[in-house]
């Protein structure tokens, strides 16, 4: 089996997260528009989003595992995650 190109790897990952309901058609529209003008831009944005989302999810998991959950802190993290998703 031949190795995937970076674009194929990204396309496979995008299909996976779309199947999970994380991404929708808005992502496709933006990705297609950007591909035409600056292909690397979309990849850079996506990498940054995944990096930030991973950090926020780890932070959220840490706070939810505490014996006493600091719900205002959890709310702040989920708000930041939602904000990152809207960029």
> What are the pLDDT digits (tens) for 17-34?
888 888 888 888 887 887
Residue 1 lies in a domain: no
Residue 16 lies in a domain: yes
Spatial separation of the C-alpha atoms in residues 48 and 36, rounded to whole Å: 20
Could you give the residue ranges of the DSSP H alpha helices within the chain? 6-19, 25-37, 39-64, 71-86
Spatial separation of the C-alpha atoms in residues 12 and 16, rounded to whole Å: 6
- Using CB atoms within 10 Å of the CB of residue 52, give its burial: 0 to 12 exposed, 13 to 18 middle, 19+ buried: middle
pLDDT at 1 over 80: no
**Predicted local confidence at residue 87, as pLDDT:** 53
Residue 80 lies in a domain: yes
What contacts 70, CB < 8 A, 6 or more positions away?
Answer: 63
pLDDT in tens, 37-87: 877 876 788 888 888 888 999 999 999 999 999 999 999 999 888 777 665
Contact 64, 74 (CB under 8 A): yes
Of 12 and 2, the structure prediction assigns the larger pLDDT to 12
Q: How many domains does the chain have?
A: 1
Domain enclosing residue 36, as ranges: 6-86
Residue 26 lies in a domain: yes
Residue 47 lies in a domain: yes
**Predicted local confidence at residue 58, as pLDDT:** 94
């Amino acid at each position: 089996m031949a190795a995937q190109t970076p674009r194929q790897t990204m396309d496979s990952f995008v299909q996976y997260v779309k199947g999970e309901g994380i991404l929708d058609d808005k992502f496709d529209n933006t990705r297609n528009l950007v591909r035409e003008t600056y292909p690397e831009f979309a990849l850079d944005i996506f990498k940054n989003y995944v990096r930030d989302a991973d950090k926020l999810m780890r932070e959220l998991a840490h706070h939810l595992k505490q014996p006493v959950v600091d719900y205002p802190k959890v709310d702040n993290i989920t708000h930041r995650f939602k904000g990152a998703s809207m960029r």
